[in-house]
Amino acid sequence: MKNRFSIFLLFVLLVVISGYVKASSPEQQTDVSSQSEAASVAGTTWAGTDSAGDYIEYHFQADGALHYKTPTRFWKNGSWKQNKNVIYMEMNNKHTEYNGVIKSNRMEGNAWNIKGHRRTWEAFVVLTDNVGKGLKACKAEDWITAARLLIPLKEKSTPEVLVCLSGMYFAGKGVPQDFDESLRLMQLAAEIDKSGAHQYSLIMMLKVMYDNNLGTIRNQYSPSEIRLEAEKWMIRAAENCHQRALSTIIGTFARDENRLQDNRTKQYWREKLASCNN
Q: What is the mean pLDDT of residues 228-243?
A: 88
Would the pLDDT of 216 be above 60? yes
Please, what's the b/e burial string for 99-116 (b: 16 or more CB within 10 A of its CB; e: otherwise)?
A: bbbbeeebbbbbbbeeee
Would the pLDDT of 29 be above 80? no
Would the pLDDT of 68 be above 80? yes
How far is 25 from 176, CA to CA, in rounded Å?
46
- Could you report the per-residue pLDDT of 121-150, keeping only the tens digit for each? 998 887 556 777 888 899 999 999 999 989
pLDDT at 156: 64
Which has more pLDDT, 55 or 92?
92
Q: What is the mean pLDDT of residues 65-87?
A: 92
**Inter-residue contact 118 to 23 (CB < 8 Å):** yes
**Inter-residue contact 185 to 166 (CB < 8 Å):** yes
Ordered by where they begin, the domains of the chain are 26-125 (2.40.128), 196-278 (no CATH)
How far is 16 from 213, CA to CA, in rounded Å?
28
- Could you report the per-residue pLDDT of 142-173, keeping only the tens digit for each? 999 999 989 887 776 678 889 999 999 999 99
pLDDT at 47: 85
Q: What is the mean pLDDT of residues 200-220?
A: 94
Ordered alpha helix ranges (H), the chain? 2-16, 130-139, 143-150, 159-171, 179-191, 197-211, 217-220, 223-239, 243-255, 266-277
Task: Note the pTM of the prediction, 2 decimals.
Answer: 0.60
